[in-house]
Amino acid sequence: MASDDERKAFGARVAALRKQRGIKQTELATAVGRTPSWVSQVERGVQPVSRLDVLQLLADALGVSVQALNPDAPVTSVPPPAVPEGPNDLDTARLTISGHPALGALLAGRAATAEPSTLADLSGQVDELWELTHTARFAELSAQVGPLVDRLEAAVRTAPNADRPALHALLARVYQALAAAFVRQDEADAAWIAADRAIRAAEQSGDVLPVFAGIYRLAQAFVRLKRLDQAEHAAATAIRALESHGDAELSVPEGLSVLGSLRLILALVHARSGNRDQARAEISEARSVARRIGADRNDFNLEFGPTNVEIQAVSTAVDLGDAGEALDIGARINAEVLSPERRSRLLMDLGRAHAQRRHVGEAVEHLLRAEELAPETVRSHTASRAAIRELTLIAGRTAPPELVGLAERSAALD
């Protein structure tokens, strides 16, 4: 296995060759069948490339020999047996949702060979998957989700009828976790697929509210795809349905969490559209819902409550260019009770606000603290990378080494 220094030297060689040839990270990723995030990790020395076939793809894409790219690679025309690589961010998870999820279960007798799992065991694995999502440990999530989806997709088709609603509910939670992770890694097309499957599984569970939680994930994917009209339609129709026919659902905190989260996604849509009045109106509506709940909750892993509303208010203000308002709201927030992902998002948005005001030192400090909590989220998030790029341009030759390092880790200048 390559040492840290060897991986960094290899990554620097890949980056130098790519830039010499005027190839963007996205173009190189397409050529080798990987994601831009994977290429970024290779160039930073985080992701090893131990398989000769992948090394050959990289060399071909860069127009050099394998030995020029890695002098230690064996000289042979016959590829050696594949050596499994470590997980590549969410690449394995993408494969999990590609194609039909349970072909084996459709063939007679195949399901009987599957290893049985208790509901309690499966539920624990789903909880762990959400923990990986909230802590932005996407490589671990990607490695674990495939076997879990296989088991659940087989189980919902073969288990006794009495167990199937609970299994469908667990399956919906898995797909929602995938949708959330894909959104955070800017892989919105995959998030769309995962959210759609979450909605279907939730409906089959017989529980209504997880269906609406799935629609929230779907709206998030539409926002990332910049299909704001679709995001608005999805969220607005869900809100109208809840408020018109969901008296029972809105009488419990879980239902209010869903309603409030849908209000927040509408605020985001309006902010991205530059509709200042509507964005602030939706934040106000969400605050009203949060007051009715009275505490921070994590129903359906939405983390909705008074604190999360204010975090979204910061993000909305930044999107609208109101840096001063964002910083004022942020100064009043105590986000310690929330997940690392939510805390990281707050710090990232405060860093963006400081960048808008050309406060280079304060911006870098917040972005570095965000990176400590959720490294891949900060390094791959479009808005974060834009802020880092802007800060680098503002600072010019006087850019502090911390900013230069952050820009290199996030490949913000590509």
The one-digit pLDDT tens for each residue of the chain (414 residues) are 467 788 888 889 999 999 998 898 888 877 877 767 778 888 888 777 766 767 888 888 888 888 888 877 655 444 433 333 333 468 888 888 988 887 777 775 444 444 557 889 999 999 999 999 988 888 889 889 999 998 899 889 888 999 999 999 999 999 999 999 999 888 899 999 999 999 999 999 999 999 999 999 999 999 999 899 999 999 999 999 999 999 999 999 999 999 999 999 999 999 988 888 999 999 999 999 999 999 999 999 999 999 999 999 999 999 998 999 999 999 999 988 888 888 999 999 999 999 999 899 999 999 999 999 888 777 777 788 888 888 988 888 888 899 988 888 877 555
- Domain ranges, ordered by start, for the chain: 4-69, 91-96+116-338
Concatenated DSSP letters for 107-153? STTTGGGSPP--HHHHHHHHHHHHHHHHTT-HHHHHHHHHHHHHHHH
Say if 4-69 and 91-96+116-338 have the same CATH topology: no
Tokens of 329: 């709201």
What is the reported pTM? 0.75
> Which architecture characterizes domain 91-96+116-338 according to CATH?
Alpha Horseshoe (1.25)
CA angle 260, 263, 266 (to 5 degrees): 155
Topology of the domain covering 4-69:
434 Repressor (Amino-terminal Domain) (1.10.260)
Output DSSP code: residue 82: P
Instruction: Please state, in angstroms and rounded to a whole number, the distance separating the CA atoms of residues 398 and 403.
Output: 10
